[in-house]
Amino acid sequence: MKVSTMAIRSLDAFARMSIGRAFASGIGMVAGGFLILLVLVAIFAPWIAPFDYAAQNLMNANAPPGWPHLLGTDEFGRDVLSRVIFGARTSLSVSATAIAISMAAGMTLGAAAGYFGGFFERAVMTVVDLTWSFPDILIALIFVAIIGPGLTSTTFAIAIAYLAQFTRLTRAQIVRLKRETFIEATINLGAKPSHILLKHLMPNAIAPVIVVGMLAIGDGIVLEATLGFFGLGAQPPTPSWGAMMSSGTAQLFLSPWVIIFPGVAVAITVIAVNLFGDELIRALDIRDRLRGA
């Protein structure tokens, strides 16, 4: 691998080259297209949704899919389609925000641990390994128990649940890169650690982290849905895919569409995220670097 070209590759170029390449394959295009569409739907939800997501019409509760409620209505007579559309907003924004926080924190911790090594590294990695081996849902549940239910706490809970993943990955990248000759040269030239980290190490470490972050958004959506299902995420009447399913078995009998459609939305979105992520990995040719973490 040509180290010099890697070093100058900025985020910008990363986006242009690799994402473009990921779109080039058939699966990548379908998955990527779907994701773009979904983001647009989430952004323009108020204009796209046929009804007010919170408007109750108790006389028309549990109506099956049909006209004018394409996906039926829930127990309060609210339009399920509108709620799924607004739910995309909640689910995507919570998951993306959480993963962004998690990535930022994980990269900082991981880079510091990988660069400085020693006791600091061991301390960080012990804690990280500890949380890593715990199921994400447990970590999130405990966190929500500490700061109470709601979207903010869900966001932070998800961020914490995936912190270990990013820390490990960044650290592994930094440790690997530190051995590269050009870094050793820079260090020998007496450059400041912050300069080396930000200018030389991070740009090279960032690609795999971004790809894993992309994949983690999918996991984050599932985790958000699960917390919502437990009633700990979005509080009514704010729709989120998970919270819509939280009425649980009640709806299975009276109006299964209230359970099925948000679940389908979660499943399709997560599958699209995974497929696109896989294509990104292939396009960037970083499978081996991901395994090393």
Partner 1 sequence: MILRYTFQRLLMLIPVSFSISVVIFMIVYLLPGDPIDNLLRVGSSPEDRAELVAQYGLDRNLVVQYFVWIGNMFQGEFGQAIVLRRPVADLVAQNLPYSLTLGGLAFLFSSTVGMALGTISAIVRHPLLDRFMRGFILLGSTVPGFWLALLLILFFSVNLGWFPVSGAGGWKSLVLPVLTIGFGGVALVARVTRVALLDAQREDFVTLLHAKGLSSRTILFRHLMPHALLPVVTILALRIGWILGGAVTVEFVFGRPGLGSLLIRALGQRDYPVVQACLLMLALAVMLGTLIGDVAQASMDPRIREKKS
Partner 2 sequence: MRYSTKTQLLSGSAIVAAGLLFSTAAMAQNVSIAFSASELGATAYNPVAASTLNTATSLIYDRLVEQDADQSYHPHLATSWEETPDGMAWTFSLLEGVTFHDDTPFNAAAVQSWIASYAGTENEYLVEAIGSVDVIDDLTVRFNMDRPEPNLLYNLASAFMGIPSPTAFAELGDNFGVTAAVGTGPYELQSFEIGFETVLVRNEDYTWGSDLSENTGPGHIETFTFREIPDQSTAFLELRTGGIDLLLGVPTDFLAILEAEANIQIIQMPGVGISYMPINVTAPPFDNILVRQATGMAIDQEGIVAAIYNGVGAPAHNFLISSLPEADVDPDLNVTYNPARAGELLDEAGWVMGDDGVRVMGDERLSVSLYTANTTELTRLTQVVQAQLGEIGMEAIITVFDSSTIRDEYRNNAHQLAVRSYDWNNSDILDWFFSGNRLGYPNVSMWEDEEGQRLNDVAMTESSTSAERIANFTAYHEYVLSQHLFVPIYQPTQNIAFNATAISVPDPVRGSRFRGQSFMDIQVVE
* Partner touching 270 among partner 2, partner 1, none, CB below 5 to 8 Å by kind: partner 1
Q: Which structure tokens are listed for 251? A: 């709806």
Rounded distance between C-alpha atoms, residue 100 and residue 113, angstroms: 20
Regarding 56 and contact with partner 2 (CB under 8 A), the answer is yes
Nearest CA to 70 among 57, 85, 81?
81
Which residues make Cβ contacts (< 8 Å) with residue 56, sequence separation at least 6? Answer: 76, 77, 78
The interface mask with partner 2, positions 178-217, x = CB under 8 A, is: ----------------------------------------
Rounded distance between C-alpha atoms, residue 288 and residue 293, angstroms: 9
Rounded distance between C-alpha atoms, residue 279 and residue 69, angstroms: 36
* Partner touching 138 among partner 1, partner 2, none, CB below 5 to 8 Å by kind: partner 1
* Partner touching 135 among partner 1, partner 2, none, CB below 5 to 8 Å by kind: partner 1
209/258 with CB nearer partner 2: 258
Residue 73: count of CB within 10 angstroms of its CB: 27
What residues from 198 to 257 belong to the interface with partner 1 (CB under 8 A)? 218, 222, 225-226, 229-230, 242, 245, 248-249, 252-253, 256
Rounded distance between C-alpha atoms, residue 169 and residue 293, angstroms: 5
* Partner touching 127 among partner 2, partner 1, none, CB below 5 to 8 Å by kind: partner 1
| Total residues interacting with partner 2, rule: CB under 8 A | 22
Q: Within 13 Å of residue 16, how many CA atoms lie on the same side as its CB?
A: 5
| Binding region for partner 2 (CB under 8 A) out of 27-35, 129-137, 159-167, 233-241 | 233-241
Regarding 247 and contact with partner 2 (CB under 8 A), the answer is yes
